[in-house]
Amino acid sequence: MFKDRIQAGHVLADILARYEGQRAVVLAIPRGGIQVAFPVAVRLRAPLDLVIPRKLPIPSNAEAGFGAITADGSRALNDDLITYLELTDTEVDEIATEVLAEVKRREKRYRGDRPFPELTDRIAIIVDDGLATGYTALAAINYVKKRKPKRVILAVPVASKGAEMLVKSQVDEYICPLTSDRPWFAVASFYGRFYDLTDEEVLTCIKKYELVAEGW
């Protein structure tokens, strides 16, 4: 059980400390992942940026998803679940189009005109606050891999066993201090304080990091 996302980030920072000075770039999955990534980036004295995938929600249950999409329109889909739900290609495309619009809005809101960081020959460390199904992280991994980093690391405080099985083989290193095989898994249940961040809180965290980095 983690006190909050910041404390969980310090746990990951201790594990990742060996990457200080190794040309790492920390990429948070917003919104919640930014608070976890902040202590990691500070500990490693590494650039902090964002990779922004978004869950594709099931029509009958917006809290659950059948995949995720990234800013370039690439999708990571749970094909078995799509078949089970009897979603047509048209329905999937309609949901993806709607979600992509929100991803692009967040890209503009969080990054402005700043381009995605150059990752060639660098170590990309993707950070989120936890993995339920793993498809959002998988979408982020695929997006980052296209930028040809030297290594891709996924670091999360907690994950379901199913999510771990999905993503672990897709990265060069997978870091997760707490994995659960409980049948009803919710990331929030592993935190004492867990809430949905706002856009403003994401931007505040980025500005706070920039102030800290100015002193290096």
pLDDT per residue over 207-216, tens digit each? 999 999 998 8
Both 128 and 195 in one domain: the answer is yes
Both 106 and 134 in one domain: the answer is no
Domain count, the chain: 2
Both 200 and 145 in one domain: the answer is yes
Please check whether residue 79 lies inside any domain of the structure: yes
- What pLDDT does residue 27 have? 98
Please check whether residue 21 lies inside any domain of the structure: yes
Burial class (CB within 10 angstroms; exposed 0-12, middle 13-18, buried 19+) of 183: exposed
Which residues neighbour 101 within 8 Å (Cβ) at sequence distance 6 or greater?
A: none
List, for residues 18-29, the tens digit of each pLDDT value. 999 999 999 999
pTM over 0.85: yes
> Which residue bears the tokens 């500990």?
43
Please check whether residue 116 lies inside any domain of the structure: no
Q: What is the mean pLDDT of residues 55-60?
A: 93
pLDDT band at 62 (very low <50, low <70, confident <90, very high): confident
Both 49 and 151 in one domain: the answer is yes
> Where in the sequence is the domain holding 133, given as residue range(s)?
5-53+121-213
pLDDT band at 182 (very low <50, low <70, confident <90, very high): confident
Both 129 and 184 in one domain: the answer is yes
Both 151 and 209 in one domain: the answer is yes
Please check whether residue 17 lies inside any domain of the structure: yes
Both 78 and 10 in one domain: the answer is no
Both 63 and 153 in one domain: the answer is no
What is the per-residue burial (b if ≥16 Cβ within 10 Å, else e) of 57-67?
bbeeeeeebbb
Going across the sheet that includes 123-127, the strands are 48-50, 24-28, 123-127, 151-155, 173-175
- What pLDDT does residue 215 have? 84
Coil, strand or helix at 122: coil
Both 78 and 132 in one domain: the answer is no
Res 60 pLDDT > 90: no
What is the per-residue burial (b if ≥16 Cβ within 10 Å, else e) of 188-200?
eebbeebeebeee
